[in-house]
């Protein structure tokens, strides 16, 4: 089902059911926003804990697997 079809179906709903759809989407978006904010808070927190860059470490580990 395409987005335009979903919107058309929502438009056919009674007001109370439309409000339920709205509430569901609002809660879903708020949850996603909270998750993104949490990720932003911890982003970069491990910087300086290791002696090498994370990508360098991954590259080194991958190279070791190939030997």
Give yes or no for residue 15 having a pLDDT over 80. Answer: yes
The arithmetic mean of pLDDT across residues 20-36, rounded, is: 97
Give the domain range for residue 25. 3-65
Virtual torsion, Cα 18, 12, 28, 30, nearest 10 deg: -50
> According to the model, what pLDDT value does residue 7 have?
96
pTM above 0.85, yes or no: no
The arithmetic mean of pLDDT across residues 20-39, rounded, is: 96
> According to the model, what pLDDT value does residue 28 have?
97
Cβ-contact 21, 9 below 8 angstroms: no
The domain total for the chain is 1
């Amino acid at each position: 089902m395409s987005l335009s079809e979903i919107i058309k179906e929502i438009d056919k709903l009674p007001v109370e059911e439309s409000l339920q759809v709205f509430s569901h989407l609002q809660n879903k978006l708020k949850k996603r926003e909270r998750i993104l904010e949490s990720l932003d808070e911890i982003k970069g927190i491990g910087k300086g804990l290791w002696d090498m860059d994370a990508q360098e470490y991954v590259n080194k580990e991958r190279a070791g697997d190939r030997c």
